[in-house]
Structure 1
Amino acid sequence: MRPLSLALLVLGPALLVGCGEQRPSFEPEKVNAAPLGKGLPRGFLLGTSTASQQGGSGTAPDAWNHFDEDVTRMKRLGSNAYGFSVEWSRLEPAPGQWDAESAARYRQWAQALRAQGLEPLVTLHPSPLPAWVAASGGWEDPATLASFERFAGRVADLLGGEVDWWCTVHEPNVSPARVARQLRTHDMVDADGDGKATLVGLSHPVSTPDLAGAGVAGSLDFLGLNDSEPSAEGLYLILKRSAALGLPLVLMESGLEDRTGERRPSFLKNHLYAVEQAVAAGVDVRGYFPRFGLFRVDRSTPELERQGTPAVETFREAARNLGLTPTP
């Protein structure tokens, strides 16, 4: 497949579709009347996500110390997947020095998710860089890529028995093709029984202009889009145009920050509606992972108590209509 540019994803709406193409209505009454989740395909990943370097999630910050509680919340939501990142600096604090305790924790996470019927989607996130990598020049040092590839292989050895979905990120000098090769070499276990041991993707903001030089062609199984699009119609147009890249799509880190929580249910409903309309138009969308807005955190408590927002019930409605079973 010829490498394509993501510059086409940030064009204005008038340029994103053909003049004669009929688009769905995004009027509020139309969206609100739609049975949320009914239009999602079988096997769709309706999940939540965290990222080690971000500290925010669809569940809550500090997932490292609240994982078991967060799994309970995932089951309450009815989600069937969980996206999390493994931190290079935590697992390899010094060159070739593997932190056994952290490795055991990540493996326990993957095993627990699989046991609870939650598909793990693991991002190999190099940020923050280990101190020893930063001290040698970071990505400016040609040796960093080789070190990151070895890290990817070790993580695949560690988690491959439970994880099929893998994602890397678009960083300067990171070759997705070389990282994907490491993952496929070291993860030979088909954990979910679908006939594929590895599905390797690239996490990418839709506003970044170019993927042509990233070594993407032929190396990826899906494209993860970081969804910062404020409007449902804008998201629909982006998904339609993204289909030209020839890869299945997964929406990652979707959401908006909303202190009051009043806008979150509408945002979630509108964006899932946009996904359903894109699917109906033939776009291959495989998953949706909110990052903000399902739970708020009471930072005045030492336990960082999680409190559900109104968006929880919106998510549960979508899960039920998808055929999933949220717990009480």
Structure 2
Amino acid sequence: MSAVFPSKTPFLWGAATAAHQVEGGNNGSDIWQMENLAGGAGGFREPSGDAMDHYHRYPQDIGLLAGAGLNAYRFSVEWARIEPEPGMFSGAALDHYARMADACLAAGLAPVVTLHHFTSPLWLAQEGGWDETQAAESFANFAGRVARHMGDRVATWCTINEINLCNLGFELVPARRARRLEKLRDALTARIGPSAFSSFLIHDGRAPAVLKRAHAMALAEIKTVRSDALVGLTLALPDLQAVPGGEDQMLRTRAVTQDEFLDITGDDDFVGVQTYTRELFGESGRLPPPEGDLTLTGWEIYPQALEASVRYAAARAAKPIIVTENGIATSDDAQRIAYTEAALSGLARARADGIDVRGYLHWSALDNFEWMHGYGPTFGLIGVDRETFKRTPKPSLAWLGARAKAHPHGPD
């Protein structure tokens, strides 16, 4: 049974990161293997390496968020560190993440913990990844172990980040991408043995069902430890729009990449909405972004997308919403502030119309490793010198913190 949000729960004003993107040295994970394939066969612009050394410098980063006036920090725990071999749990790694939660609480930040943010242990890949039904049990066992270790510190949990990417990749991917993935599968087989790489985007069709089951089992494990915990999943929810003639294409895509996953949240306490832009569809499918300025990831600058996605998710799932990611990849921090202000204005309109939105967690706290894009795109409220690891808070951090202090009950 879903928990009930306390009536006086403060609005979550915060920022987010993912372990692999900021910690550094996550060499026991599947993505580490992928990004370090010879000749760039994995499709990554560069490897993550030391990342932002957040593994060691998290106290400073948490202090910067709290000092600006935010009250929440979403971070992920790294499965590959906690369970480096099947059934072998690292007490030291569990203690590390418990200390992160303690640091949040001491600084006045609510820890929002994500159990799986794209990366999986290498051994899971070697066992067949998310195509194997046993992966659901393995993940639930991991989730229960983490919850037992730090559940007394953490009230809000995200099980699987952007679980719908397991369908999104194949629905929108062109044939040439599919051929590259086959070459990548071959390269990974040579690197880690005959197995299916455990990314959401490379699977034989069973992964969506396994991931859905993994989410349900992990939720049950957390609730067993702490019945009042608030548990949900997060979804990649671009605002899907159709130009004349593209309605059928858009609706078919929405059905398999959004509706199918919004419809499994019946036992969840919230839906995590992650929106950055819109996607346009014509008669032949997805269209390129309209001409004009694009973000550093090549996306249309369209902050209005957040309001539309929140409204759609709330109507479809009939659950409270937490915006678990929203932001812009730009080197112009004034543009970041303008984008975020427009996105929050849309969120305020949705709330004024009765949409139950409980938090806004900006992506991201730090400039970080943006997966295939490497370190080029900068989403952070805090800049990081990759040589010295010096942190430089941007004006956008102070701006968002001031907004949080002025509107403790949420944007209005």
Q: TM-score, normalised by structure 1?
A: 0.77
CA 1:239–1:217: 2 relative to 1, 3 Å: closer
Match of 2:139 in 1: 148
Q: Does 1:313 align with 2:398?
A: yes
CA distance in 2, matches of 1:314, 1:214: 32
Pick aligned residue for 1:239 from 306, 310, 314: 310
Alpha-carbon offset, residue 240 of structure 1: 1.8
C-alpha separation between the residues in 2 aligned to 1:316 and 1:148? 35
- CA 1:72/1:94 → structure 2, altered by over 3 Å: closer, same or farther? same
Paired position in structure 2 for 1:80: 71
| Residue 181 to residue 42, structure 1, CA distance change in 2 (3 Å) | closer
Q: Does 1:114 align with 2:108?
A: no
- Asked whether 1:226 is paired with 2:274, we answer yes
Q: Is this contact kept in 1: 2:83–2:90, CA < 8 A?
A: yes
Find the partner of 2:232 among 201, 208, 212: 201
| Residue equivalent to 1:20 | none
The answer as to whether partners of 1:177 and 1:215 remain within 8 angstroms in 2 is no
Q: Which has the higher contact order (CA 8 A, sep 6+)?
A: 1
Match of 2:91 in 1: 100
SS at match of 2:125: helix
Residues in 2 aligned to 1:310 and 1:45: alpha-carbon distance in whole angstroms: 20
CA contact (8 A) 2:22 2:55 kept: no
C-alpha displacement of 1:231: 2.4
- The yes-or-no answer on 1:279 pairing with 2:351 is yes
Larger CA deviation: 255-264 vs 141-150: 255-264
Paired residue type of 1:199: L
1:183 to 216, 222, 244: 222
User: Residues 217 and 313 from structure 1, CA distance in 2 versus in 1: closer, same or farther, beyond 3 angstroms?
Assistant: closer
Deviates more, 1:44-53 or 1:202-211: 202-211
Partner AA of 1:50 in structure 2: T
Whether the 8 Å CA contact 2:235–2:272 is kept in 1: the answer is yes
- In 2, distance between residues paired with 1:63 and 1:249? 28
Q: Determine whether 1:293 maps to 2:380.
A: yes
Given that 2:137 and 2:217 are in contact with CA atoms closer than 8 Å, whether structure 1 keeps it comes out as: no
User: Cα–Cα, structure 1 residues 163 and 317, in superposed 2: closer, same or farther, change >3 Å?
Assistant: same
Residues 300, 220 of structure 1: alpha-carbon distance in 2 compared, 3 angstrom cutoff? same
One-letter amino acid of the structure 2 residue matched with residue 281 of structure 1: D
Do the aligned partners of residues 153 and 215 (structure 1) sit closer, same or farther apart at CA in structure 2, a change above 3 Å counting?
farther
What is the alpha-carbon distance in structure 1 between the residues aligned to residue 102 and residue 9 of structure 2?
24
Q: In structure 2, how many angstroms separate the alpha carbons of the residues matched to 1:320 and 1:126?
A: 29
Of 132, 148, 159 in structure 1, the residue corresponding to residue 150 of structure 2 is 159
CA deviations on 1:234-276 (whole Å, 9 max, x unpaired) are: 3222222222120111112211111232311111211112111
- The question of whether the paired residues in 2 share the 8 Å contact of 1:268 and 1:314 is answered with no
Which residue type is aligned with residue 295 of structure 1?
I
Q: Give SS of 2:334's match.
A: coil
Aligned partner of 2:334 among 239, 254, 262: 262
Contact map agreement 1:160 1:187 (CA 8 A) in 2: yes
For residues 262 and 134 of structure 2, what CA distance do their matches in structure 1 show? 18
* TM-score of the aligned structures, taking structure 2 as reference length: 0.62
Mapped to 1, the partners of 2:149 and 2:222 lie a distance apart of 11
Residue 18 of structure 2 aligns with which residue?
A: 51
**Distance (Å, rounded) in 1 between the aligned partners of 2:151 and 2:390:** 32
Uncovered stretches (5+) of structure 2, i.e. residues with no partner: 1-7, 24-50, 167-207, 239-253, 278-300, 365-378
Q: For 1:198 and 1:150, how far apart are their aligned partners in 2?
A: 17
Supply the AA of the counterpart residue of 2:235: H
Deviation at 1:217, TM superposition (A): 4.2
- Stretches of structure 1 lacking an aligned partner (at least 5 in a row): 1-40, 189-196
Q: Secondary structure of the residue that 2:267 maps to in structure 1?
A: coil
Q: Select the structure that is richer in helix.
A: 2
Query: Percent same amino acid at aligned positions?
Result: 33
Q: Is the CA contact 1:261–1:293 (under 8 Å) kept in the aligned structure 2?
A: no
Q: Is the 8 A contact 2:262 2:313 kept in 1?
A: no
1:91 aligns with 2:162: no
Amino acid in structure 2 at the alignment position of 1:224: G
One-letter amino acid of the structure 1 residue matched with residue 398 of structure 2? E
